[in-house]
Structure 1
């Protein structure tokens, strides 16, 4: 495949991701992110493609769409992805970490810790967000987010990756974003030479720092199951076809096997 390479200045100083290391920047109304530990761009792209075959929009919520990019940055050609800037004029993103810090105070984490169990923690986060923003369906949104993360094995859903949109004193639901830590994309933590099924068993869910199954069970016990999906194994293969072309041929069969295995095992547990 003949891929265009998007040229950027070699002197670019990129912003960093929530983990403080994956470079990203805004240009021409799109956000660009570079792969760092493996195939984050593929994980973002494949996840957003498969979300088309879910009920996220039927539930009244949105998700960010990603596409693969080949980028020349710091005088090197790198893989990455891009997504549209979904913020309207006057809008900003307010993460739950910032919302709680501003709306509850510096000791909000101690209040979370006082909750008796995981369901209590989920309920506390949802109800505090409802109180501070007026978004009455936030418990449903949060449950859906946890289910999406479980399905795709996304470990990076800390409270800086859960957010609401703010327009002055009004709030709205933020499109679901940032799937790059899913699908076993971090080959530093999840090496390519280890059986994917064994790696899936090691996954941990944020923000509750537990297994995905326990986190989702806790949310569903309060707000009910939300996510439905209609994609097949063949749809996963189709979603992988174009993004795989960006990676070394020797790695493609391993990446494809890891992605398929992750979704298969996570879907079975979900």
Structure 2
């Protein structure tokens, strides 16, 4: 495995969890594992997203690869992805979009709405009004479905974004699935049955069960994602990333990931 060397000076930011370090270099973004196997989760998820119809829907997703990184004098696991921004483009998160376009009290407006379906509808309506994107409901539903499929509990409004070039907007490639597949072994220990751990997950940004959030979005905009992966596809997606982790942990990680995807897929199909 190739080890990419970098320095602590390049650490540029952290995740919503507060500690996952990331930085940009040579046209790629790098992220370190912090609480478990986030790099594997990103890499496997992006490989399996290629087995969905996201591209057919007219949307994109970020492709990740595993990395061995020399950082802070230590060899660490992580992942990287190409910088998808074109010259003149920037990312605008929904959190920033709503704060600037609706006002600092936008959250209080959402709280007054009667149910989750109405809240999701409000987010979509405001985003479409402010950006001119007329399929944001389908995009958001597909994103929620992908989060459910891979058990990604970290889809806060700083992980939902649009692309901006001047006053023109576009859909952002779907990114940041590192909290999925039970990757955080601090919060979801390896010695606890995956079935128990999955029951504890809460979907963001609605802080609800994945099924409730997805069904509310689908009620507004229809089901979006079609997932066609087989058992063999998941095994193949896991093969290379697993080699980055200690041999004693590989079977545990593999079992957790397989169980997570299969269980969440059954729920998504209901």
Q: Per the shorter chain, which TM-score range? A: over 0.9
Match of 1:194 among 167, 192, 198: 192
Task: Please give the alpha-carbon distance, in whole angstroms, between the structure 1 residues aligned to 2:2 and 2:182.
Answer: 27
- 8 Å contact 2:155–2:205 — kept in the other structure? yes
1:163 aligns with 2:139: no
Task: Please give the alpha-carbon distance, in whole angstroms, between the structure 2 residues aligned to 1:4 and 1:216.
Answer: 40
What is residue 131 of structure 2 aligned with on the other side? 133
- 8 Å contact 1:94–1:164 — kept in the other structure? yes
Task: Please give the alpha-carbon distance, in whole angstroms, between the structure 2 residues aligned to 1:220 and 1:252.
Answer: 36
Task: Please give the alpha-carbon distance, in whole angstroms, between the structure 2 residues aligned to 1:36 and 1:247.
Answer: 13
Any idea what the Cα deviations from partners look like across 1:199-231, whole Å, max 9, x if unmatched?
A: 111111000000000000000010000010110
Which TM-score applies when normalising by structure 1? 0.98
CA displacement at 1:101 relative to structure 2: 0.1
Residue 50 of structure 2 aligns to a residue whose secondary structure is helix
Q: How many residues align?
A: 268
Task: Please give the alpha-carbon distance, in whole angstroms, between the structure 2 residues aligned to 1:14 and 1:185.
Answer: 22
Task: Please give the alpha-carbon distance, in whole angstroms, between the structure 2 residues aligned to 1:136 and 1:33.
Answer: 32
Task: Please give the alpha-carbon distance, in whole angstroms, between the structure 2 residues aligned to 1:10 and 1:51.
Answer: 32
CA displacement at 1:11 relative to structure 2: 4.5
CA displacement at 1:134 relative to structure 2: 0.3
1:7 aligns with 2:5: yes
Distance verdict in 2 for CA 1:170–1:10, change over 3 Å: closer
Which TM-score applies when normalising by structure 2? 0.98
What is residue 66 of structure 2 aligned with on the other side? 68
CA displacement at 1:234 relative to structure 2: 1.4
What is residue 100 of structure 2 aligned with on the other side? 102
Uncovered stretches (5+) of structure 1, i.e. residues with no partner: none
Task: Please give the alpha-carbon distance, in whole angstroms, between the structure 1 residues aligned to 2:136 and 2:110.
Answer: 17
Uncovered stretches (5+) of structure 2, i.e. residues with no partner: none
**Superposition pairs of residues 5-44 of structure 1, within 5 angstroms:** 5-44=3-42
What is residue 147 of structure 1 aligned with on the other side? 145
* RMSD of equivalent CA atoms: 0.8
Which 10-residue stretch deviates more, 4-13 or 57-66?
A: 4-13
Task: Please give the alpha-carbon distance, in whole angstroms, between the structure 2 residues aligned to 1:65 and 1:24.
Answer: 16
Instruction: Spell out structure 1 runs of 4+ moving beyond 3 A.
Output: 10-14
Task: Please give the alpha-carbon distance, in whole angstroms, between the structure 1 residues aligned to 2:199 and 2:130.
Answer: 36
Task: Please give the alpha-carbon distance, in whole angstroms, between the structure 2 residues aligned to 1:155 and 1:81.
Answer: 19
Task: Please give the alpha-carbon distance, in whole angstroms, between the structure 1 residues aligned to 2:121 and 2:11.
Answer: 40
Residue 15 of structure 1 aligns to a residue whose secondary structure is coil
- 8 Å contact 1:62–1:175 — kept in the other structure? yes
Task: Please give the alpha-carbon distance, in whole angstroms, between the structure 2 residues aligned to 1:120 and 1:148.
Answer: 21
What is residue 224 of structure 1 aligned with on the other side? 222
Task: Please give the alpha-carbon distance, in whole angstroms, between the structure 2 residues aligned to 1:13 and 1:266.
Answer: 34
- 8 Å contact 1:5–1:72 — kept in the other structure? yes
Task: Please give the alpha-carbon distance, in whole angstroms, between the structure 1 residues aligned to 2:8 and 2:224.
Answer: 45
CA displacement at 1:10 relative to structure 2: 4.7
- 8 Å contact 2:5–2:69 — kept in the other structure? yes
